[in-house]
Amino acid sequence: MGDKYMDPYTPKTGAIVSLSFGKFLRACILWQVVRFVVINLRMIVLILKSKH
């Protein structure tokens, strides 16, 4: 599907295109363990900032 994203004359042109390394990282278990920690720490910060 990749090539059609790059066509500069379609409505899809404005969108950023995810590349193969980014897609690999999305499913890479080791990297995702790291991201899991980051996402949940970020959520905890957000919850603490929201307490009134």
Partner 1 sequence: MARVVILGGGVAGHTAATFAKEWLGEEHEVVVVTPDGNWNWTPSNIWVGTGEMRKEDAVFPIAPVYEKVGIDYREAKAVSIHPEGKSDSDKAFVTIEYTGQGKAGQSEELSYDYLVNATGAKLDFDATPGLGNGNAEPGPHTVSVCTAEQALHASEELEKVMEKMRKGQKQTILIGMGHGMCTYQGAVFEYIFSIEHKLREEGIREYAEIIYISNESFLGDFGMGGMHIKMGGYAGSSKLFTESLYNERDIKWILGAHVTKVEEGRVTYKTLDGDTHEQEFDFAMLIPLFAGVGIKAYDKEGNDMTDKLFTPNGFMKVDADYTPKPYEEWKASDWPSTLQNPDYKNIFAAGIAFAPPHSISKPVQAPDGTPITPAAPRTGMPNAMMGKAVAASIRDMILEGASEPTHTANMSEMGATFVTSAGKDFFTGTAVAMTIYPIVPDYEKYPDTGRDINITTAEIGLAAHWTKHIQYHIFMYKAKLLPGWTLIP
| Residue 6 interacting with partner 1 (CB under 8 A) | no
Q: How many Å apart are CA 15 and CA 42, to the nearest integer?
A: 26
Place of tokens 């059609």: 4
Nearer to partner 1, 1 or 8 (CB): 1
The least distance separating partner 1 from the CB of residue 32, rounded to whole angstroms, comes to 4
Q: Choose which of 9, 20, 21, 27 interacts with partner 1 (CB under 8 A).
A: 27
Rounded distance between C-alpha atoms, residue 7 and residue 5, angstroms: 6
Residue 42 sits in the site that holds partner 1 (CB under 8 A): yes
Assigned token pair, 28: 């890479």
